[in-house]
């Protein structure tokens, strides 16, 4: 069996090299869609792809990020290379698997478990680290260091969503869904991922500019239920900086094990899981026949010229 990673990216110049190096330690193929980077992210990807054929650039095009239209499109594009029994993963550039997916499948899963949710360890940018940046104790040059050496304080996340799934040729991922319908039987164990969305003040400021402009766009708002309440709509990056006195904050020493959490909020009650297991064991191929497909001509939604120009102007000056 092979492991296929689906990676959407945008303006990840500071982390994309480390991301790809990490993915290449376990992935058999990494499919990449750049949604409009204005930095050197895409050029770094192309350089990697010229040296390692497991890096497969789909294309670069300014499009809105959407769990449905973008990730679904990437899956539909990449499935031509997948076979029954393979595994595919939703991955992001700021995610580092603390236990590699192949090792996780080998050591943590039962054979009948075919879909896995993630366990995030959300690494934070602290107030003390921002002050160190402002003093010049840390600079852009420090981005060459491994991210795990730069950011060591995390908060365990109770929130979870699907990340790893065993592929079957009959499965359907409609354009209205963020993951295939009836993807599989849900595993009790979660895939541990170190998550680094807040890496330094410059990166964080760019992130908030990008997302606040996107969330203010009326076309993009249709991709979200209540865009005004979404954390992407916030414009002040300093609100994401966490106090070093926060009681939830924990320290991690690189090279050591992270604490394991046994959250179960992703699981249905036992009697429902029993029914699900029976259905997933015997009926999935039949159910797949009744599900809508991703349209062959469907594409991610393009960003209009006006918004794209604004993003280029705002991000280029940071």
Do the Cβ atoms of 24 and 49 come closer than 8 Å? no
pTM higher than 0.85 for the full model? yes
Do the Cβ atoms of 294 and 68 come closer than 8 Å? no
> Mean of the per-residue pLDDT values for the chain?
94
Could you tell me the two tokens for 263? 């959250």
68-116 pLDDT tens trace: 899 999 999 999 999 999 999 999 999 999 999 999 999 999 999 999 9
Domains observed in the chain? 3-121+153-197+247-303 (3.90.550)
What pLDDT score was predicted for residue 101?
98
Residues near 295 by beta carbon (within 8 Å), at least 6 away in sequence: 175
Report the candidate in 167, 22, 177 with the shortest Cα–Cα distance to residue 91.
22
What pLDDT score was predicted for residue 236?
85
255-281 pLDDT tens trace: 999 999 999 999 999 999 999 999 999
277-297 pLDDT tens trace: 999 999 999 999 999 999 999
């Amino acid at each position: 069996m092979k492991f296929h990673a689906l990676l959407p990216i945008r303006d990840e110049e500071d982390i994309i090299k480390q991301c790809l190096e990490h993915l290449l330690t376990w992935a058999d193929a990494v499919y990449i869609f750049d949604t409009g980077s204005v930095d050197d992210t895409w050029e770094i990807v192309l350089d990697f792809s010229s040296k390692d054929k497991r890096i497969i650039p789909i294309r670069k095009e300014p499009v809105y990020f959407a769990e449905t239209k973008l990730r679904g499109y990437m899956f539909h594009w990449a499935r031509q290379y997948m076979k029954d029994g393979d595994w595919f993963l939703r991955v992001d550039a700021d995610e580092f698997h603390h236990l590699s997916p192949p090792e996780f499948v080998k050591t943590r899963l039962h054979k009948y478990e075919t879909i896995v949710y993630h366990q995030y360890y959300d690494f934070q940018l602290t107030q003390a680290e921002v002050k160190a940046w402002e003093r010049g104790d840390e600079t852009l040059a420090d981005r060459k260091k491994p991210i795990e050496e730069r950011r060591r304080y995390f908060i365990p996340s109770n929130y979870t969503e699907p990340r790893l799934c065993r592929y079957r040729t009959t499965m359907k991922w409609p354009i209205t869904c963020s993951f295939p319908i009836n993807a599989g039987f849900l595993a009790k164990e979660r895939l541990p991922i170190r998550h680094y969305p807040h890496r330094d003040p410059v990166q964080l400021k760019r992130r908030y500019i990008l997302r606040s402009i996107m969330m203010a766009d009326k076309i993009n708002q249709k991709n979200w239920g209540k865009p005004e309440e979404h954390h992407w709509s916030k414009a002040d990056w300093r609100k994401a900086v966490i106090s070093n006195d926060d009681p939830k904050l924990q320290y991690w020493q690189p090279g050591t094990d992270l604490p394991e959490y046994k959250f179960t909020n992703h699981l249905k009650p036992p009697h429902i899981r029993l029914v699900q297991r029976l259905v997933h064991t015997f009926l999935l191929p039949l159910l797949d026949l009744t599900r809508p497909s991703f349209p062959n001509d469907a594409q991610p939604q393009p960003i209009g010229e006006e918004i794209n120009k604004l993003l280029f102007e705002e991000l280029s000056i940071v």
